[in-house]
């Protein structure tokens, strides 16, 4: 008969889940049909950026370079609400370069996240602006268990939603309109994003010449 201590690994697994961490690097680039000065005024204001990011909310402006905020996530029965601080470490108006660091901890104790975002705006010949960015994300806890590939695919889908919202907002608002207070954010329904990602993954599998068919 096995001793009762055989059931202890469940507790050990929970401890390992909290300590597990991974790092993902994401690069993105897109063009908006706006002058570079207008685009810069938008991306250099975390309040404006957060207003276009589903689930994100700026809670407090500490000073001109420090903000406190929150990010809500929901994945089926799993939900998390990260709260933390965003610090603008570099803001170069001449070169239109910015670097921000965000650090957050889930209120429920499911994990931590740190993201460093470096961005640069490049004026285009036709009057538009290219926005190029690199994000280095380090996460720990339950979310890290989804794997780097899944987190990367979900992040790309979320970034696409952000760019659509930002492009629409810049096009709809007059250039001289003052910044509005960010609207209250709803939780990111990651299940919807995962469904879209799942279809992409399935498409890649089916596009491999039938490799996914069962063997006889």
Whether 211 maps to a domain, the answer reads no
| pLDDT computed for residue 44 by the predictor | 93
Residue pLDDT, tens place only, 75-112: 555 677 889 999 999 999 999 999 999 999 988 777 88
Whether 215 maps to a domain, the answer reads no
- Between CA 195 and CA 134 the distance in angstroms is 25
Nearest CA-CA partner of 155 in 188, 131, 132, 186: 188
Whether 182 maps to a domain, the answer reads yes
Count of domains in the chain?
1
What is the arithmetic mean of pLDDT over 44-57?
Answer: 87
| pLDDT computed for residue 99 by the predictor | 95
Q: Which domain CATH number covers 111?
A: 3.30.530.20
Nearest CA-CA partner of 81 in 69, 73, 90, 89: 73
Rounded alpha-carbon distances, angstroms, from residue 82 to 6, 16, 188, 200, 211: 35, 20, 12, 28, 41
Mean pLDDT over each residue of the chain, to the nearest integer: 75
Whether 35 maps to a domain, the answer reads yes
Local structure of residue 46 (DSSP, 8 states): H
| pLDDT computed for residue 38 by the predictor | 94
Whether 13 maps to a domain, the answer reads no
- Between CA 145 and CA 22 the distance in angstroms is 9
Whether 169 maps to a domain, the answer reads yes
Range of 88's domain? 22-206
> Is 60 exceeded by the pLDDT of residue 152?
yes
């Amino acid at each position: 008969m096995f001793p009762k201590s055989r059931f202890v690994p469940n507790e050990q697994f929970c401890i390992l889940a909290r300590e597990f961490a991974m790092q993902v690097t994401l690069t993105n680039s897109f063009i908006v049909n706006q002058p570079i000065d207008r685009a810069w005024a938008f991306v250099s204001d975390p309040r404006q950026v957060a207003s276009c990011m589903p689930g994100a909310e700026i809670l407090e402006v500490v000073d001109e370079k420090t903000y406190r905020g929150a990010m809500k996530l929901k994945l089926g029965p799993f939900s998390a609400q990260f709260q933390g601080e965003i610090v603008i470490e570099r803001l170069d108006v001449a070169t239109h370069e910015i670097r921000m660091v965000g650090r957050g901890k889930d209120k429920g104790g499911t994990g931590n996240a740190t993201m460093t975002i470096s961005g640069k705006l490049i004026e285009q010949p036709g009057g538009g602006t290219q926005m190029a960015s690199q994000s280095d994300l380090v996460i720990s806890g339950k979310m890290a268990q989804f794997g780097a590939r899944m987190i990367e695919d979900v992040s790309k889908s979320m970034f696409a939603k952000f760019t659509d919202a930002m492009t629409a907002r810049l096009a709809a608002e007059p250039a001289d309109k003052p910044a509005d207070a960010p609207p209250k954010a709803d939780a990111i329904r990651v299940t919807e994003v995962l469904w879209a990602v799942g279809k992409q993954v399935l498409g890649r599998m089916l596009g491999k010449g039938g490799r996914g068919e069962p063997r006889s």
